[in-house]
Structure 1
Amino acid sequence: MREHFDVIVIGMGPGGEVAASRLLSAGKSVAVVERELIGGECAYWACIPSKTVLRPPEAGGQVDRAAGVGGAQMDWPAARDYRDYMARHLDDSAQVDSYADQGALVVKGVARLSVPGVVDVDGRLLGGDHVVIATGSTAVIPPIEGLDEVTVWTNRETYTATDLPARAVVIGGSAVGVETALFLTRFGTAVTLVQRSERLLSREDPRVADLARTALEGAGVQVRAGTTPARARREGPDQVVELDDGTSVRGDVVIMATGRAPRSDGLGLEEVGVSLGEHGEVLIDEHCRAADGIWAVGDVTGVLPFTHVAKYQGRIVADAILGRARPARYDGIPRVVFADPEIAAAGLTQAQADAQGLRTAAAEVDLAASIARPWTFEQDPRGHLGLLADVDRRVLVGAWAVAPQAGEWIHQASLAIRAGIPLDTLLDQVAQFPTYTEGYLAALDALDL
């Protein structure tokens, strides 16, 4: 006998959790299906554990750079224990009980849409007026010859490791690669980072990449940019990665930070009218609708691979199902790399603005030369802020910052971009003294409009 619900949510990462929680609060009958742990990749193997272990090195660096204090020591066992606490020791029983208490049916297993409106979970049939696909993504392992012969980690092994390797080769210079390299090197691992393109964070402005590389190399990471792994092999205790420039790098582990792919295989999506993109992403409209009665949120959509976007899309879908449909917008979404200093951006890069044919004005300010806060924060102040404005509309369209706590104060630029706040209004803001936020006024004044 088929059980019926208003909504079935497949995948309970952040996007699925937001959608389910909002629909339950609105009185809808909801079934949630999860093949692994409620909370998803972010809670157990990515965002939460990674940011938890990145905090001690950040705090240690702040201690060492602040006047009148020093001698911070890294304590990996203590950091590891707190990481495991934050990742719930890979135990989601409290989350299962919480959703059950809210009235949801919680089903653990592998789901497949057998026909429209029917979800088969390992032989158990669930019917729903609406189905939300929130299955996330999986780490991409590139086809490198010999890779099966060496010790390979993804984010899962890296952020559940009991002991850290003495040496690591990190493949990929994306946000994940940069964060992983910094975390490991600050805890004593000798890290070599290999990046295919000539610069790190290749989706950001070149200046951001330059500052990120300077910070990484200053922390002790050896950066090998503009080269690609050709093959891998084991040589005694060494994992050897041979590069296409004829050189090789060695480590105890090879860590893949080479992107993620939507997890859409095996769901039967195309059989129920859902279209997939060339990378397997679920194609959605402005309301996150994938087909009649079928919705998708998060990494599986391939829109933007960020937890905060998944949560936003969860709100969009819940509102649509509840009769309050509104279009999703992705302009001005913040992008943060939790390095030291933090790397943050929002909106368009210069290349993207040029591709759209916008007439722009750009400005970069050295924060230590412009405002007081960097000097009160650390003895050797660091920090740069860049802004990009649309000359014709006189609004911000892009911003970036490489500076302490940039992930916190980039949201002023994000809001300005999303709301289209006029530059004259931004110039009239009165920021608290001394804060990094004051840097916006210096950068706005430097725009040649």
Structure 2
Amino acid sequence: MLNISKNNDVLITPGRFKSINSVARKPHYKFLNMVVIGFLLFGVFCLFLPWTQNISGSGSVTTLKPDQRPQTVHNTIAGKIEKWYVQEGDYVKKGDTILFISEVKEDYLDPNLVGNTKQQVDAKKMALESYGDKVNSLDVQVESLIAERQLKLQQAENKIKQSLLKIKSDSMDLEAIKTQLKIAQTQYSRSTALNKEGLKPLTDVEQKRLKLQESEAYIVTQQNKLLSSKNELINARVEINRIKAEYSEKISKSRSDKFTALSTQYDTEAQVNKLRNQYSNYAIRSGMYYITAPQSGYVNRALLAGIGETIKEGTSIVSIMPASYDIAVETYVDPIDLPLVQRGAKVRVWFDGWPRVVFSGWPGLSYGTFGGRIVAIENFISSNGKYRVLISPDGKDHKWPKELSIGAGAQSIALLKTVPVWYEIWRNLNGFPPNYYKSDEKDANAKEKK
């Protein structure tokens, strides 16, 4: 800068002044310098102290099993509140009645709905049995018709055999008559010739002529008889066809009636099953008017109030806390720490309301913490941007307080590798996750084992 001032620069040395010399010679300032140097040395020493890396998380007290957590009781059907059987704070056993509701839907307002449906089921059962009897009767009828047809056919076949034998007999008689006719013609011709010669009287000729005429007439009668026998054979064969057609029609009609009865029987059986289903539904629905406790526990809060209030299906009625449960802690860790958390890992936990002194880096110096083990890790991120971890009590450590209530706040730290303090400071300054070189250590251990 420009030297425009009239003052000349003079070098000032502290030794020129008596006040400064007198102050510098005070003994307590030497002690202060020693203290500062001691603190610096102590800080450097602390940098080499062991520090236990950890993953901290915050959450709340919960239960280990889902069925042991507080639950809300809902109604299955719509209805109108008629009577309360519990109040807040009551202890209820599994199956105890909490609330009674009445029906509001017009399809179920009949007070004797279940009994009437039962009567319908019984009536349909009787109808089903009658159709079954009808089917059995038609089966017997069909069997009877088949047997009768067989007998009729045998009778017709016998008639055909008789007709054949009669035709044969008539044919033989016709041949015999033809022979007799030839004999009569021969005798008549001989008698006529002898009469002309005067050897036979005329009366003998007339007798022979009469006998010839009788033979001629008898042969016509026998031919008619043979034709009649043949007609009887044709009629017998026609009768067989008629019997077959008649009984086929009767059997077909009986079988058709049987199939119709079977169809009606199956339809009635379907109706019976439907009515049974309806009857069961009505009976089960009638049992839903009483809302009961799903498990033993305490009634925390009644979510409805009053008498005569209409509620819909699935409405929350009361909140119940189970009487017995296995306590646990749900905590949340950052995504960067999730790969370092494993099932079975040991965790230290402390609870709100319990005195504690916690040194996260020196867990041995902490007081008021309880041991736990990780039993579940959620693989999907929660709404708070962290991952949920479930911790159960460690059986080898101190028991957790019995007075813990579900929902109380809890803090947790998962213990990892022990490193120097300077390394932990360096890790945090660089944003490295805890136990960053754990994989290398595993590889080294694996090589040593080999």
Q: Looking at CA atoms only, which structure, 1 or 2, has the larger radius of gyration? A: 2
Structures share fold, TM-score greater than 0.5: no
Larger RCO of the pair (alpha carbons < 8 Å, separation 6+): 2
Q: Relative to total residues, which structure has the larger helix share, 1 or 2?
A: 2
Per the normalisation by structure 2, the TM-score is: 0.20
Higher strand share: 1
TM-score normalised according to structure 1 size: 0.20
